[in-house]
Amino acid sequence: MDSDAHAFSIEMESRDHVKRVSISENPRDSIIFEGELGEIEGLSLVEGQMLKVRGVNGILRIDITEEEFKRYCNPDTCSS
């Protein structure tokens, strides 16, 4: 992983909340992970370096700085 890459992790409470995991034998194919975080219980920016989305069924963590988060999620400049 290069230095500009952002890591992520997904922690699910149970397999029951995972809809699909698809990993191909071909390393160039995409990988799909689908599930249900459920009702969102909270959002937090941990130590200004990681966005944590906590749902009743699991947690999604994304390595993103507070500066990047504000840049990309500003309502005036929000991009997808």
Residue ranges covered by each domain of the chain: 8-73
Task: Name the pLDDT band for 78 (thresholds 50, 70, 90).
Answer: low
Decide if pLDDT at 66 tops 70.
Answer: yes
The pLDDT tens digits of the residues spanning 41-56 come to 999 999 989 999 999 9
Task: Name the pLDDT band for 2 (thresholds 50, 70, 90).
Answer: low
Task: Name the pLDDT band for 19 (thresholds 50, 70, 90).
Answer: very high
Sequence-distant (6+) residues with CB within 8 A of 19 are: 34, 35, 36
More confident residue, 2 or 24: 24
Model-level pTM? Answer: 0.79
Spatial distance between the Cα atoms of 26 and 46, rounded to a whole number of angstroms? 35
